[in-house]
Structure 1
Amino acid sequence: MELTALSLRLHALSALRGLQQHPLVRAYVETLDYLDGANAECFADAYGALCAAHYAYQDASQALLDAVHYDVNTLTDTLAAPASALLSAATLDIEALNALLALDGTALKTATAGRYNAPALLTLPDFPASCPLPFRDGAALASYYRAQGYGFFAQSSAFAVQDDGTVAPIVHPDTIRLHDLPGYDRQKQQILKNTRAFLDGREANNILLYGDKGTGKSSTVKAVVNEYAERGLKIIEMSPRHITCFPKIFAETLRSPFRFIVFLDDLTFSREDDNFAALKAFIEGGLAGKPANLVIYATSNRRHLIRESFADREGDEVRVRDSLETVTSLSDRFGLEITFSVPDKDEYLYIVDQLAAESGLALPEDQLHLLAERFALRRNGRSPRTARQFISQQMAEKYEK
């Protein structure tokens, strides 16, 4: 494509209009604009910025593919039945982006030869041409969006709510899988069944996982998300102190094609505060409701989520009843409650055996069990976390010998 025509096509991006704000596209546009008129210094300045953008992104093709993937536009809003005119416009935009990627530094510098009397321009840095995007027309792009999803949440499978209330992707999410968590098969099957129903668009419950510390409640939630990440399941980790951000989170997820688990870890309240009341309303009973593509999975060491004192149970019968209803009013809103109790001796040693086999720790069973029990006594009890720490210690000692 002739460079002046390419410059006009980039200015006229329509279906993918948002890509004009991408730093790499913007650097190309500014460089092409300076091919006509202005002066050699202006071109050199724009060209240098373009080279810097190329070096920063390293792979220009991947950078633009990510930009297209994370974009929300008229095409993504009408994927069910996009208009033919819109598909044609998307085709023109893709052609322009692929023509941009086909350029290398030499082609741009050579194009200045007939415009400026500045041979030094040919000695400027260079960059190679890049591969085209994996779709060549609007119909192929629509198919890509249907298969891969789109928008902000396409960036990762895991996100976290920041202190300012914004949602940010987690660059290196926990990769734990269910096979890394031996034991608690009944509990895992309950969560998997509910999650599959959610992914299939059927009725699914919010889940409260409660029980003793170190039993793998949080790890199980993360592992379930990893099991179904390829089906578009995302997790948004939210601290209990950010519960008032729920309306903003709901608004951001409402238009997304993905399905979300909002993960509230270690959920406990010292009293019936604003966060307590807000979470009750958001789960059930609020006017706004919540998106159909979102469920809440929470973990807690407390069944009723709010700390009780003996003072809460003092007074006449009416007050006792009211106090107890307040304490249970939030946990009762979770449709599924799953208990993670401390394992007994046999369950604990089963977990130890499984982790030892996975780690390649070869010890006689009697010796392994004896050491594991001693370790649990020193660590104040049996739990999957204790078993994992025991195996880690044994492996460290093995490599030191």
Structure 2
Amino acid sequence: MSKKAKKTAAQPAPRATPKAASRGQPKTATKGPANTLNGATAERIAIALEAIAGHLSAASPAAGRPESFGSADAFVWHPDGRLSPVPRVSRVELGLLKGIDRMRDILIENTERFADGLPANNALLWGARGMGKSSLVKATHADINVDRKPADRLKLIEIHREDIESLPGLMDLLRSSDFRFIVFCDDLSFDGNDASYKSLKAVLEGGIEGRPDNVILYATSNRRHLLAREMIENERSTAINPGEAVEEKVSLSDRFGLWLGFHRCSQDEYLAMVRGYCGHFGIEIADEELEREALEWSTTRGSRSGRVAWQFTQELAGRLGVRLAGK
């Protein structure tokens, strides 16, 4: 062997430094069994989640389908598109609502016309707290349905104030049904920079599609114009054209064709409510004692209203051991 060949053979092969070998290349995991285990676990989790989602999707959408409206007379709307049936509505019988005879007669007449397929107005029930606004809506709905066939019964759908922006979606769902609906929003009002009232305006009158013929809207509020006074004043003081800014917001209540005002009741009306409740539920007590205690109760509450009368009746019934069955 020549000297040159020996010298070449004696030289060791150059070794790549770890830094050079790893430059620009991602590190690879060396624990194969662990990776296999993690992959299998993730797959099992994914299969379980798919099964849960399948069960949920099979159970919940049925409540919002038009064919399910025959299952109940009342529903609660959820912004995800579900309508939850309410088997038993919390309501007061129409005959127990005292001191609001005029408003009661007007709302019943309007609702009857709507139920019969005749023109009727959206209604805004506004005024003093505890005077039976929401109770009147629910009692009217029950009274209208007393002698109606299942196919002709009115459906009551409650939409919560915070979900009012989803109202157009609810209208789309109801539009294709053969039933007629009262869409009811309790304690409706708007504050600050809340712009969701525009969704309500569009449904009431201003949208292209408008309100479906088989839907009427009833709302209750402590405010006649649904907006706080300071909200209206702020619009007047900051807008470039104050008149137009205020008009846009105030016009919301104008789109309810029927305004029913509820005012604080007199002492005689308050006592009539108490006596009506006691007579209905069989609470026996001397009239003089009943009057004295009822007035004392209203004084401690600082107001007279149907709600205060009902709260006193519950207190009295509990003290005398009388059950308020069927309330």
Q: TM class by shorter-chain length? A: 0.7 to 0.9
Q: Distance in 2 between matches of 1:267 and 1:311?
A: 19
The CA distance in 1 between the partners of 2:274 and 2:207, in whole Å, is 45
Is the 8 Å Cα contact of residues 236 and 243 (structure 2) preserved in structure 1?
A: no
Q: Which protein, 1 or 2, shows the higher relative CO under an 8 Å CA cutoff with sep ≥ 6?
A: 2
- Report the AA paired with residue 223 of structure 1: A
Per the alignment, residue 18 of structure 2 pairs with none
- Preserved CA contact (<8 Å) 1:165 1:242: no
Task: From 287, 293, 315, give the equivalent of 2:214.
Answer: 293
Q: Which amino acid aligns with 1:392?
A: Q
Question: Shift of the alpha carbon at 1:228?
Answer: 2.1
**Counterpart AA for 1:324:** V
Alignment partner of 1:173 is 2:117? no
Q: Where does the alignment leave 5 or more consecutive residues of structure 2 unmatched?
A: 1-62, 323-327
Question: Are 1:240 and 1:275, in contact at CA under 8 Å, matched by a contact in 2?
Answer: no
Deviation sequence 1:344-373 (CA, Å, 0-9, x none): 111111111111111222222222111111
Deviations 1:293-340, CA, capped at 9 Å, x for gaps: 100000001111011218527649974423431341110100000011
Aligned residues of 2:98 and 2:269 also touching (Cα < 8 A): no
Please list the CA deviations of residues 206-248 of structure 1 after superposition, one character each: whole Å capped at 9, or x if unmatched: 0000011111111111111111233410111001222222222
Matched, 1:154 2:75: no
Aligned with residue 271 of structure 1, among 178, 186, 192? 192
Q: Does 2:119 match 1:203?
A: yes
Do the aligned partners of residues 314 and 226 (structure 1) sit closer, same or farther apart at CA in structure 2, a change above 3 Å counting? closer
Aligned residue number for residue 218 of structure 1? 134
Deviations 1:19-75 (A, max 9, x none): xxxxxxxxxxxxxxxxxxxxxxxxxxxxxxxxxxxxxxxxxxxxxxxxxxx9x9xxx
Instruction: State the match for 2:160 in structure 1.
Output: 239
Deviation at 1:171, TM superposition (A): 2.9
Q: Which range moves more in the overlay, 353-362 or 164-173?
A: 164-173
Could you say what secondary structure the match of 1:274 adopts?
Answer: coil
Q: Quick one: which amino acid aligns to residue 124 of structure 2?
A: L
Secondary structure of 1:151's partner? helix
1:172 is displaced (CA, Å) by 2.6
The total of aligned residue pairs comes to: 254
Residues 300/202 of structure 1: CA separation in 2 closer, same or farther (3 Å cut): same
Deviation at 1:255, TM superposition (A): 2.2
Q: Does 1:353 align with 2:270?
A: no
For the structure 1 residues 246 and 163, does the alpha-carbon distance in structure 2 shift closer, same or farther, using more than 3 Å as the test? closer
Equivalent position amino acid for 1:373 in 2: L
Residue 280 of structure 1 pairs with residue 192 of structure 2: no
**Backbone CA RMSD of aligned residues:** 2.4
Q: Look up the match of 1:190.
A: 106
Q: 1:336 to 1:314 in 2, by over 3 A?
A: closer
- Relative to 1, partners in 2 of residues 1:320 and 1:274: Cα closer, same or farther, differing over 3 Å? closer
Other-structure match for 2:37: none
What does residue range 1-400 of structure 1 map to in structure 2 within 5 Å?
151-229=67-145, 230=148, 231-271=152-192, 273-309=194-230, 311-312=233-234, 315=237, 319-399=241-321
Deviations 1:124-143 (A, max 9, x none): xxxxxxxxxxxxxxxxxxxx
Q: Distance in 2 between matches of 1:323 and 1:308?
A: 14
Determine if contact 1:182/1:355 at 8 Å carries over to the other structure: no
Q: Kindly state the Cα deviation for residue 175 of structure 1 after the two structures are TM-superposed.
A: 4.7
3-state SS of paired residue (2:220) = strand
**Residue segments in structure 1 that go unaligned for 5+ positions in a row:** 1-69, 73-149
Instruction: Give the distance between the partners of 1:394 and 1:222, measured in 2 at CA.
Output: 25
Q: Which amino acid aligns with 1:248?
A: G
Q: Alpha-carbon deviations, 1:53-108, whole Å to 9, x = none?
A: xxxxxxxxxxxxxxxxx9x9xxxxxxxxxxxxxxxxxxxxxxxxxxxxxxxxxxxx
